[in-house]
Structure 1
Amino acid sequence: MAQIVNHGLHQGHILKEVCLRSDRLSLSLLNFGAVTRDLRLHDQGENRSLVLGFRNPADYLTNPGYMGVIAGRVAGRIKNARFALDGQMVRLAENEGGNQLHGGPSGLSHVLWGIEPLTSASARLTYHSPEGENGYPGAVDFTVTVTLDEFSVEYEMIASVSQPTPISLAQHSYYNLSGGQQAIWDHRLQVDATGYLVLDDTNVPNGTIADLSDTGFDFRLGRSFGELDPEHQGCDINLVFDTDRTQALPAAKLTAPDGLQMTVTTDQPGAQIYTAGGLPTQPEGHSGQILGPAMGVCFEPQGFPNAVNQPDFPSVIVSPDVPYVQKLRLDFGWI
């Protein structure tokens, strides 16, 4: 059975951490924000960190870059922090200009979850979101189960709602498969995508799905970030997966310069690709990591951001009779 480490009282919160282990991977979870604090590969003499993280667990109480969190109730941006549901206008808490980002100022990323080890390689996180939290209708019970198996990590995210309400979660780790001492420009990303969501002047999808050709984020052929973006301007865009793809097969592959590869299998319609352009430069990353712009890339499978205001996007409204379920699987290996 995995052990719970108590990091003491910080700003009124008792921080707890559970460390999971398989034969080849280890992963640590915090109860604040359901954070994946560390994910390490133990293979061929390696003890390599694969995600960015703070050395001091208390730093996650602020965490302006949402490092490692479960983002929600609705990941991404909602235009003007409002939407219509069943003929009524719902007004949400704003936290990015006039918009809402990642569920609001006290979204799932900035609350205290229950945490329970299940085995040496799995743990469960739970959170009850009361009706009206951040402006959302209905109460929601969230469960996130994290399981290691040899070279794989699986996140199962479930939400049961008391009345119709939007739910769209995203696991928000910053991946750097080289350990985090160098920027990710030489990492190659391949995605089975057909298009991307066009953004308005506040970085919110405006309802248009555009073709990827001749853009700086056409990852269909498996190109490096530096090749697609030689001026290093950065990327923060939602790609639309091929609707004919087989969901049991990987939707994306991220490959480090030395051949370490992460494949991503997901049941979501798309993913946000973010090269950490807005990640504050910070000291005290674990394992000597440098925390700042382009030091990691987020690959965040999720429902389309702002879907609540775009009727042509797949709906993210969840009802009491059909719980929300998302499964995300990461597999690691050498090529």
Structure 2
Amino acid sequence: MSIPRLKKTILLIGFPILLSCCKERRPKDNIQMEINNPKLDKIHTPQEENFKTEIEGDSVKLYTLRNGKGIEAYFTNFGQRLVSLYVPDKNGKLEDIVLGFNSLEEYGQEGAAYFGATIGRYGNRIANGSFVLDGKTYPLAKNNGPNHLHGGLKGFDNVVWKVDEVSQKSIQFSRISPDGEEGYPGNLAVKVSYKLTEDNELKISYEATTDKKTVVNLTHHSFFNLKGEGNGTIEDHILTINADLYTPIDENLIPTGELANVKQTPLDFTSPKTIGQDIHNNSSQLTMAGGFDHNYILETSSKNSEGLVMAAKVEEPSSGRTMEVYTNEPGIQFYSGNFLDGTVKGKSGRKYLKRGAFCLETQHYPNSPNQSGFPSTELDVGDTYTSVCVYKFGIKK
């Protein structure tokens, strides 16, 4: 693979994802045993040689996490991308439920940006490509119409991360984002760890410190389809979001600053409903975004033993797969794959259709640096930024 082709990712902004199908033989008399100990068809898993290269002297590789229940997660340290995530269905069949590609080079094609990546320094949009911090204006790249999106032209999704630690069930990445990178102030030291637990959780923990006051908002950008990547749309997935309020957007998909109630609107997911139930509603909020692309304000009164709230739950009826999302963040961005258009083929060779995946990105609100009424994303010298996102997978009983 030539490095120049890979560098095209620096200039491309898009939204795709993919997965692979796995076939297995199973006895008919012990389905529960197979859910606990599913078998993975190795023919369809990512191949190490397709992700092994050097970029500007930094080594890029493929890394695999496995738990005792058969779940496997494949990462590359280029952009901290989750390449594949194999999860069993109600019959114990493992399928890849995240969009993606079979080689590192394919992540450089048009329409492939952000798939499975860590996003930074600032996840989501910043209006007019600038923000003011302590009276000083910081100009940023405008890579999404008039907006700055997901860290700019060369965000955290387009850099090689150092691998500090790796074991069968966990991996930790780190890097120092230099002062002025993509316009942001401060040398930002970042660590991100992923842990695959025996409770079928993929736990993501973020930590960052700075030597100059800055803004930070990190998130994970996998595109999920619980039927399997490339397997139709996600309009039949049943979604619940633990939020009575959301931040309405303008025509540039920037929050207006208002906090609005979801009740009696198509954005209400306080009770389970299919993603497709109201997605074609002619509400201005949906027509401006082409579907759902909104930040929900999480209800934080009820927390688990780790101090996390359940932000969302997704159920897929045909496979029986479920996914719960837990976080300590104040918001979650629900994106319904509106810009997928069928022009990109994923790992299984199938096209990624419009609304062929969803994203649930735990984060602070979009454009917070320019909205004094939103929770602050400022990080000062001596303070430590921490954020946690847990994706928990199961089978509907």
The normalised TM-score by structure 1 is: 0.93
* Residue 125 (structure 1) aligns with: 173
Query: Helix, strand or coil: the match of 2:361?
Result: strand
Deviation at 1:141? 1.1
Query: Helix, strand or coil: the match of 1:143?
Result: strand
* Residue 215 (structure 1) aligns with: 265
Q: Which one of the candidate residues 77, 87, 106 is aligned to 1:59?
A: 106
Task: Provide, for residues 216-268 of structure 1, a one-character-per-residue CA deviation record: whole Å limited to 9, x for no partner.
Answer: 22111011011122469521111111142324342210111132110111011
| Residue identity matched to 2:142 | E
Deviation at 1:11? 6.9
Deviation at 1:64? 4.0
Q: Among the aligned pairs, what percent are the same residue?
A: 31
Give the whole-Å Cα distance in 2 for the aligned partners of 1:116 and 1:19: 15
Please tell me whether residue 27 in structure 1 is matched to residue 81 in structure 2. Answer: no
Deviates more, 1:211-220 or 1:238-247: 238-247
Task: Provide, for residues 108-153 of structure 1, a one-character-per-residue CA deviation record: whole Å limited to 9, x for no partner.
Answer: 1111111244211111111211000010010111111011012111
* Residue 82 (structure 2) aligns with: 36
Query: Helix, strand or coil: the match of 1:174?
Result: coil
Higher strand proportion? 1
Give the whole-Å Cα distance in 2 for the aligned partners of 1:161 and 1:11: 26
Deviation at 1:297? 0.2
Give the whole-Å Cα distance in 2 for the aligned partners of 1:105 and 1:96: 10
Is the 2:55–2:160 contact (alpha carbons within 8 Å) kept by the matching residues of 1? no
Deviation at 1:289? 4.5
Note the 1:1-335 alignment, pairs <5 A: 5=48, 7-9=51-53, 14-24=59-69, 25-42=71-88, 44-62=91-109, 64-150=112-198, 151-180=200-229, 181-230=231-280, 233-246=290-303, 247-258=307-318, 259-335=320-396
Deviates more, 1:227-236 or 1:53-62: 227-236
Query: Any gaps of 5 or more consecutive residues in structure 2?
Result: 1-46
Give the whole-Å Cα distance in 2 for the aligned partners of 1:292 and 1:230: 16
Deviates more, 1:257-266 or 1:274-283: 274-283
| Residue identity matched to 2:79 | G
Instruction: List structure 1 segments (4+ residues) > 4 angstroms apart after TM superposition.
Output: 10-14, 230-233
The number of aligned residues is 332
Deviation at 1:305? 0.7
The normalised TM-score by structure 2 is: 0.79
Is the 2:300–2:309 contact (alpha carbons within 8 Å) kept by the matching residues of 1? no
Is the 1:28–1:36 contact (alpha carbons within 8 Å) kept by the matching residues of 2? yes
Deviation at 1:61? 3.4
Deviates more, 1:89-98 or 1:299-308: 89-98
* Residue 7 (structure 2) aligns with: none
Is the 1:190–1:219 contact (alpha carbons within 8 Å) kept by the matching residues of 2? yes
Taking a change above 3 Å as real, the CA distance of residues 11 and 119 of structure 1, as seen in their structure-2 partners, is closer
Based on CA coordinates, which of the two structures has the bigger radius of gyration? 2
Deviates more, 1:314-323 or 1:111-120: 111-120
Deviation at 1:280? 4.6
Deviates more, 1:166-175 or 1:277-286: 277-286
Is the 1:179–1:289 contact (alpha carbons within 8 Å) kept by the matching residues of 2? no
Give the whole-Å Cα distance in 2 for the aligned partners of 1:35 and 1:41: 17
Taking a change above 3 Å as real, the CA distance of residues 229 and 96 of structure 1, as seen in their structure-2 partners, is closer
Give the whole-Å Cα distance in 2 for the aligned partners of 1:192 and 1:27: 27
Taking a change above 3 Å as real, the CA distance of residues 289 and 270 of structure 1, as seen in their structure-2 partners, is farther
* Residue 29 (structure 2) aligns with: none
Q: Over aligned residues, Cα RMSD in angstroms?
A: 2.0
Deviation at 1:209? 1.0
Is the 2:313–2:323 contact (alpha carbons within 8 Å) kept by the matching residues of 1? yes
Deviates more, 1:168-177 or 1:88-97: 88-97
* Residue 31 (structure 2) aligns with: none
Give the whole-Å Cα distance in 2 for the aligned partners of 1:67 and 1:174: 6
